[in-house]
Structure 1
Amino acid sequence: MKALRHFLLALQFFTRIPVTGRLADWVGFSQAMLRASAAYFPAVGVVVGGLVVLLTAALMHYLPATYAPLAAAALGTTWSVWLTGAFHEDGLADVADGLGGSYDRERALIIMKDSRVGAFGAIAVVLILLNKVALLALLGAVGLVWMCFALMAGHVISRTWPLLIIRWLPHVGDEAGSKSKPLADQISTSSLAVALFWCAGALALSTCIAAAVLTGSDPLTLAITQVLPVLKVLAFGSLASALIFVYLLRLFARRLQGFTGDCLGTTQQVCEIAFYLGCTLALGSGH
Structure 2
Amino acid sequence: MGDAWRLAVGTLTALPVAPPRQVTRDTARGAMLLAPLAVLPLGALVAAVLWLGGLADLPPLAVAFVAVGALAAGTRALHWDGLSDVADGLTASYDRERSLAVMKTGTSGPAGVVATVVVAGVQAAALTAYVGSAHLAVLAGALVCLSRCALWITCCTRVPAARPDGLGSTYTRTVPLPLAALGGMLLSVTGGLAVVALVRRTTRRFGGVTGDVFGAAIELALATTLLTWAWL
User: TM (normalized to structure 1)?
Assistant: 0.71
Cα separation, 1, equivalents of 2:176 and 2:192: 20
Percent identical: 27
Following TM superposition, the consecutive aligned residue runs of length 4 or more in structure 1 with deviations greater than 4 angstroms are: 192-197
CA, structure 1 residues 138+162, in 2 after alignment: closer, same or farther (shift >3 Å)? same
Cα separation, 1, equivalents of 2:105 and 2:147: 26
Is contact 1:97–1:119 with CA below 8 Å preserved after alignment?
yes
**Residue-by-residue CA offset, 1:128-174 (whole Å, 9 max, x unaligned):** 11111111013327x4432431x223222221122222112100136
Larger of the two Rg values belongs to structure:
1
Alignment correspondent of 2:189: 239
Alignment correspondent of 1:179: 167
Aligned positions, number = 230
Please state if 1:58 is matched with 2:52: yes
Query: Mapping of 1:13-92 within 5 angstroms?
Result: 13-19=11-17, 24=18, 27-32=20-25, 33-61=27-55, 63=56, 65=57, 67=59, 69-92=60-83
Cα separation, 1, equivalents of 2:203 and 2:180: 26
State the SS of the aligned residue for 1:259.
Answer: coil
Q: CA deviation at 1:45?
A: 3.4
**Residue-by-residue CA offset, 1:200-238 (whole Å, 9 max, x unaligned):** 9xx7xxxxxxxxxxxxxxxxxxxxxxxxxxxxxxxxx71
Cα separation, 1, equivalents of 2:12 and 2:117: 21
CA, structure 1 residues 180+43, in 2 after alignment: closer, same or farther (shift >3 Å)? farther
Q: CA deviation at 1:261?
A: 0.8
**Residue-by-residue CA offset, 1:175-198 (whole Å, 9 max, x unaligned):** 1xx2343222x21549x859969x
**Counterpart amino acid of 1:37?**
A
Query: Mapping of 1:1-287 within 5 angstroms?
Result: 3-19=1-17, 24=18, 27-32=20-25, 33-61=27-55, 63=56, 65=57, 67=59, 69-140=60-131, 143-149=133-139, 151-167=140-156, 168-173=158-163, 175=165, 178-184=166-172, 186-189=173-176, 238-282=188-232
Alignment correspondent of 1:221: none
**Counterpart amino acid of 1:59?**
G
Is contact 1:55–1:76 with CA below 8 Å preserved after alignment?
yes
Cα separation, 2, equivalents of 1:278 and 1:265: 20
Gaps of 5+ in 2: none
Cα separation, 2, equivalents of 1:248 and 1:259: 10
**Counterpart amino acid of 1:183?**
Y
CA, structure 1 residues 145+121, in 2 after alignment: closer, same or farther (shift >3 Å)? same
Is contact 1:98–1:112 with CA below 8 Å preserved after alignment?
yes
Gaps of 5+ in 1: 204-236, 283-287
**Counterpart amino acid of 2:152?**
L
Shifted more, 237-246 versus 81-90: the winner is 237-246
CA, structure 1 residues 59+140, in 2 after alignment: closer, same or farther (shift >3 Å)? closer
State the SS of the aligned residue for 1:158.
Answer: helix
